[in-house]
Structure 1
Amino acid sequence: MAETRLIQSRYRLLDLIGRGGMGEVWRARDESLGRQVAVKCLKPMGPQHDQDFTRILRERFRREARVAAALQHRGVTVVHDFGEHEGVLYLVMELLDGRNLSQLLEDNEQHPLPVDDVVDIAEQVADALGYTHQQGIVHRDLKPANIMRLADGTVKICDFGIARLGHDISVTSRLTGVGIAMGTPHYMSPEQISGGQIDHRSDLYSLGCVLYEIATGAPPFDLDDAWGVLVGHRDTQPEPLRSHRAELPGFFDRVVLELLAKTPEQRPADAGDLRRRIAVGRTGEQPHLEPTGRVLLAPPVPVERPGGHAGPGRLPGWTRGMTSGIKATGTTSPGLAPPDHSAGLTGEWTTGEWTTGTGPRTGTGSAPPAGAERPTPSPELLAILASRHSAGLNLGRLGHWDEAGAVHRAVAAEREHALGPDHPDTLSSRYEVGFTLSRTGRAADALREFGRVAQGRERTLGPDHAETLAARQEVAYVLGQLGRHFEAHQVYAAVLASRERSMGPDHPDTLRCRHNLAFNLSRLGRLEDSYRMARDVAAARSRLLGATHPDTLVTRYEVGYTLGRLGRWTEALQTYREVVQVRSHVLGADHPDTLAARYEVGISLGRLGRSTEALELYRVLVEDRTRVSGPADPETLRARHGLGVNLGRLARWEEALAESREVCATRERVLGADHRDTLVSRREVAVGLGWLGRWAEALTAYRQVAEVRTRLLGADHPDALASRNDEAHCLEQLGRGTEAVELYRQVAALRQQRGIASS
């Protein structure tokens, strides 16, 4: 596009003034209006880029244009136009004469800005944020590079690329799966780090980080690795600004520390409140502070490092591999904004077979033979692959497993060519490929992928390395998905012994392995062993992580499940209710884990013969599931299935049959005719027909279930045998005793053969 120098016969590109991870920014002339503008162009993606990643970037670019074009405020960059020209998306903005705050710090040789400038910037940004928040827009990536100070002193907020519209969360959540959109670690709020609910107060926290940096010369948690930075945001109180720079006014020190409160409730209520505090402070008056606006300073909490033994709990899985990003005091060239990559490579690395070359060559083709010199991949390629790897992680975190898998497969192939098959980053991508396969029902493919990763990591890192054990643990998990629980047990037991030897019995990863082993024991029918192990893990997690920690609650949930299988339904009910109560308080009443535990409370009530209570519980749960996830969501349908079952237990069979038929039809449409949940619903339809004396119709439904289960699971699978038994019972009710007896004999023979094979 740069060759034509003219877009849509109107915008003539003149000079390249910036280049970032998504595209370029040009100084241009609007030929129609005779004014100079800035044109932001999304880089065209070639065929070597996977299409899912490209599509998401383009959709996000369009969203940035729509969001920014709707904003009209002196403190927000004005967007004049946007569109597509010859396959390239572009955004036309006002041309700003000034420097962003990151560049101002660099111009000042990393020294903090003058006090008056800092306070003025704070007041202007608060005013602009107040406006954007009133429009229902949260920026979510506020940092020095996104705040411009113009030559006349005006301050403007730029780049709404990952902004969230409050009324359109679902669309934006999907778009922000792109890794470079996660925000920059030095300026992320604790709730953004933990994956919690984000509102306007997250922007206030990020602004506090920006103000801390321009006032003192360094961000509040100025560490080189992402783990330390993120844990700092989450667990460590920042030092007062005046301990770094005594000349700062006391009111400003207080205001910034209030912005940096760990919970949104402790921060100023909104940007308008913040602006008033700054204005009052500048006049020398004492503002009235609400109790929640105070921050009690405490001694810094030790920052946990990867592999450390002490410190706060683990960060979310999406933080794996993050670099600390670009902070304002970096050493980049002024005027060229570098891309923010939220995932990094492991650094220089070679195998025992290949040596790292010195040339900047890249390309495609087969890998060098053993002993040959491997060309050094360009930093640009490595950075692109890092961002795309992170994009895949975030797509998975948002539940878009198919898209995540496509991204990881493409990155794995390119990393294998550029770095080698056993490079840690190649294996990391392969690991994520396996993870997405296991989450999309392709367990056999996932098993092969995880096995390959485990072997590669064992060769390069050793059998007891944490990454090797993680891959082997996933091998066990997938074996369990495939119903190969005895093999899974052997792998889990070996991994557990290695984890206890290398990490200790109370390490979080050791406890996670013990939890999985307990789960697998229950699938082997060793219910007492499973119960004891799950109970012990729950106690250990409660002691180490706290009784309300999500990991503790997951294991207590498993304790409840095993109690139910042991027939100890009163204890199971009590356990599930306790989990519901804590999850409601910690995660919220509408969190999926809370709703899942409420479902199990209903199961327990039904098993105890308290179907009236169970029915009422499921009615409310169906309403909540429908409101949160929609009427066709699998979990909504599961709650409706429970409602139908309890209608039947109360002998309300006409209602039960109607409910079962509706659920079955919806499951068939959403999940497919052969899905196990669809088959469960079809069987429930047959049960209802039988109780209403409509045995001929029931027989048809039972046979459909039996045929599908036999085809998919095998004739001797317990579920297939149970279906054949249902079919025989139905024949018996129809007076077709000879056929029934023959089918009973076939089922008995298959069960005997299965028992011999198992022994």
Structure 2
Amino acid sequence: MPQQQPIAGRYELLEPLDNGGMGDVWRGYDAVLDRPVAVKLIRQQAVGGSPQLAEEFAKRFRREARITARIQHPGVPQVYDAVLDDTYERLFLVMELVDGMSLSAYIHPNRLLPVSWAVAVAAQVATVLSYAHEVPVIHRDLKPSNILVARDGTVKVLDFGIAAILRTDVTKLTATGTPIGTYQYMAPEQVRGGRTTPQTDLYALGCVLHELLGGRLLFTADSEYMVMYQHVNAAPTPLRVLRPEVPQELEDLVLHLLLKAPEARPADVQEVYERLRPFLPPPGRMPGPGEAGPAGVPDPTGLFRNPYAPRARAGAGRSAPVAADPAAGQAAPVPVPAQLRAEIDEAYAHSDALLDEERFAQAAEVLGEIIEPAARALGAESRKVLELRTRRAAIQLLGGDYRAALPEFDALADAYARTDGPTGEPARACRAQAARCRAELGQVTDALAALRGLLDVVRTVDGDLSEEAVELRRDIGMLLLAQGQAVEAHRILRPLHDDLCLVFGPGDEMTEEVGEALALIGLDLDAPAT
């Protein structure tokens, strides 16, 4: 269950994400920096049975975390904090939250991955290891559950240094006689309790790549000890026996990685990458027949097909959180069930309380959790659902998450145009907010065009002195000024200032803001020509 009190007064546990031998992982929230985090709870038996042991464990973690922090690579999630609770029984590791899928979800014996996908994962892991081994940091516990593929296809290697902190690189036994460590991926030297080196990580990478291509574990047996015995003594099954279409050179590389003696494996991870390179998709090449991976999962080949590609344009490749049916606006309103109404009211109240504490990301998330069930019950373009979505987008804008708010405001403007008409007030408001997001994201030309088009509509409907028109005129003038178009900005802001003085008075906040802008413009306009 989530903590009643935030950890260290700032980290809240929201929902469980994963559990393993070392501890449970939670999706959490950092109330101080207003951002989502991952919180890993280290199990009590790992921390120790006394305050002294627990303190030593925490010190060991912090020492290892400082070393791990030197791995400067996007494939290594950041570790933000380590908190030992007052009972000295639990250690919480606070880390970057990665939105992605564990590599374990990719592996299935009846749905083998395209060779290019498996190689793309291994190549990215090799790149991460090259930076780690330079520090030097040895992972010691590389396995599919410690490898995530983020939504953009970037491979993230988790838990660097954790094995060293827990000292799982030797075959110790717990009180129940169970070996500590992930025995399915242990190099022979780990099983024997010997010294670990970068070649230990290469053996584990060979296990992972063999499993990605073959769809099954390298070794299986009725007991953990038999699997560990096989790692020390048994020859691995060549990949082409399991899957004939695997290239011979790739099979040779995997077998080289899986050699029993560390010194017999590839010299370093750079050599591994160079031998993987011929099987990576070249830049600009689209997937061919048989190269399409599983539907709905991140594609690790994208980074090689489109290296150093810019971010997708705002709204491109992403849909609004709730799909809209163009005909939905014509349907009769659906009564809101009492239970759903209460849940919506509770979500608004919770979100407002979070806003009071300037916890924008979490306030938006609270509303997001009720939007989908409300849309299913009431329709994607019901008034209640559109209001919830509008409120969430406004919070995202307020919190500075313009990239998330922009496509939602665009989608909302289209939805309101269907339900209230294209020149209706809700559609206009959403288009204005979308324009402001574009301005913040540097899309100034598009933002100005949208604001000017809206101003023409508002002038026709409500005149030049309505609150909406005044705000649009101010926004246009300020954008022009920010772009260095002082003369054009003066042409907009001068009559606006006169109107504001007349209607709202010289002491009004907006009047003063526009007046200050005009004073700055005047300094430039009145400067003597040179």
Q: Per the shorter chain, which TM-score range?
A: 0.3 to 0.5
TM-score w.r.t. length of structure 2:
0.47
Q: With a CA cutoff of 8 Å and minimum separation of 6, indicate the structure with the bigger relative contact order.
A: 2
More helix as a share of residues: 1
TM-score w.r.t. length of structure 1:
0.33
